[in-house]
Structure 1
Amino acid sequence: MMSAPSPEDRPAPETLSSVFHVYEVRERGERLLYFGEPLANQQRIMEAVWPAFREAGYEVHLTRQTGEFVLVAEPRSVGEDAIPWTNVALFVATVLSTLFVGAQWYYVRDPLSTAIVSAIPFTLAVMGVLGTHELGHYVMSRYHDVDASLPYFIPFPTIVGTMGAVIRMRGQIPDREALFDIGVAGPIAGLLATVVVSAVGLMLPPVAVPEWVLAAQSTVEVEFGYPPLLHAIAWQLDAPLVYDDPTKVINPVVIGGWVGMFITFLNLIPVGQLDGGHILRAMVGPAQERIAPLVPTALFALAGYLFFVRDVGQVVGIWVLWGIMAAIVSAFGSARPIDDSPLDGRRVAIGIVTFVIGALCFTPVPIQIVGP
């Protein structure tokens, strides 16, 4: 966290006069409101005034209040001011939900019993890849002095016990370099954790399917579609992903690696505030807004192909849902850094490699459920 800036340090109205004519300054608590008339477009104003406010310890944005233009300055805070109880509660809830779901992957008959501890490796795998991804964003945000929250885990009794994790960006992005670094840090960190988790899981022994599961009429079979990256890791380790023996299934830790790859691909979809949107916006600038509308179209086309050509009805809903989400986040637009100068060639190359690796995490049919 940072200490509150002193009122004496606030930018003087005359220092803003080249782009914003200030006729009144008000204080509302720790916030400063500069009422005035803009003398340039919003991007130019922010480029001119943001450095002065940042140096004085404020975040600033231009808005309108009751018909007047206002520069609203709020004290910057990088880090947490107190124990983040919401983050802690969600983390604990997600640990419990992944333990509960993971116990079923280990064929624990009563997941509410102490036998649930057998699912700890699964929970560590899933929480590890998700947490590493989000901590990559958080660490790089701190490096660039951009205010961001700690990860918020999302507990949900899905097939893996969670809907992922997110961090909340509370500060403005200073330039394309920061936008790129923050955006790419999550997928890269998460991929490293995913490769490690996948390799460990493939080296662990398979799980035996109990007789009571094989005999139950209500038993369903879950078939995972493994992406090329997971196949490559399995090939390198000479480890099977599927067993011929129906009484053996892959160790659930591998599912943690599968989760990491699936989440990586989804996050690298190049629209809006997704990681891929940040990376592409930093790489190509405003041209990203012309590319973004193509993404939901591609996802809807994929859903149509799977439904009409492949006749894989179950998975269609996943890509229709993500097509809708991509359209929504695309409509909200991407992040706009204060300094929109072009990105350097080294980072562009890293971005291209990241998208290529992300493509290796893609599988058109990620999961299917075969009924009893």
Structure 2
Amino acid sequence: MSAIINDIEIIKSETTKINDVDFNNLKFGHVFSDHMLECDYKDGKWQAPKVVPYQGITLDPSAKIFHYGQSVFEGMKAYKDAHEKVWLFRPLDNFKRINISSKRLAIPELPENYFMDGLKALLEVDKDWIPSNEGSSLYIRPFIFASGNGFHASPADEYKFIICTAPSGSYFSGDVKVLIEEKYSRSANGGVGFAKAGGNYAGQFYPTQLAIEKGYQQVIWTDDNTHEYIEEAGAMNIFVRINDTLITGPTSDRILDGITRKSIIELAESENIPVEVRKLTVAEVVEAAKNGSLKEMFGAGTAAVISPISGFGYKGEDYEIEKIDNTYASFLKKRITDIQTNKAEDPFGWRYEVK
């Protein structure tokens, strides 16, 4: 069956998987909704997007995604409030960032209406897939990859833009213990660390696996040159609280301009929490852990929102972070999720209703 929503062609699935889903026990990103948005770039322009049944993709073995890694993505969530209204959180920031990432990887940039109208049409078709139970959301994964063929080392001439969605529960459960990396780097000056490029994450898996084998759950990434500065926590931005001051590193070629990161900074400042955006050395964090002034560390990103860190390892020594009451992490996470789910006022204009 075909229809039109927001000028987007809708080809509906003849069947649904929704009745087979236990919405009270959702893993993160394991179950996928009935439909997806699909849009092709060919003949020098993006073609009209359309919503189609969720399905596999057929590619030629010479498709350049397999050989030269032109791939970027975003992470977003949709929420349903008590009145069945559907909300997004700062979606235009995701649109802007996927184009920033695309430009760095020589991928053609998307028109805003293709991204936003396509996303809204997809959510309208699959709105029953948006969970309303506490702590759950519809995770949204927009991505673009090189579908054009050829072994020549050059940008592709064809690309595919897709948005898939997955009803999901919490990304992490409980605090995580991390290892401060002393050898491997996530990214480098002049590189693509600021972009949400697939290869950035592929390069993280091996060092993270080594950390897991040592009893940690994640890696704290340090700068590529000296490994003296704290930069990111796994696939998230990182915040460190020393005494009452919240500290995070400045964005750069190496650090992703996280949407949750920006929101935490703005929200904390509005609550008169001292915030410093500056370079933070490993030595400063270790000293703070030793003298008791290190009160909190946490990762920040779309999937987990905020993920508390219970301790870290460095140069063969472990440092535990003593649990305290009324943490910034719990306060800020609740403030953000209450805004996201329409349980609180949004003085920042971050919440976006899907109509």
Report the structure number with the largest CA radius of gyration. Answer: 1
TM-score by length of structure 2 reads 0.22
Higher strand fraction: Structure 1 or Structure 2?
2
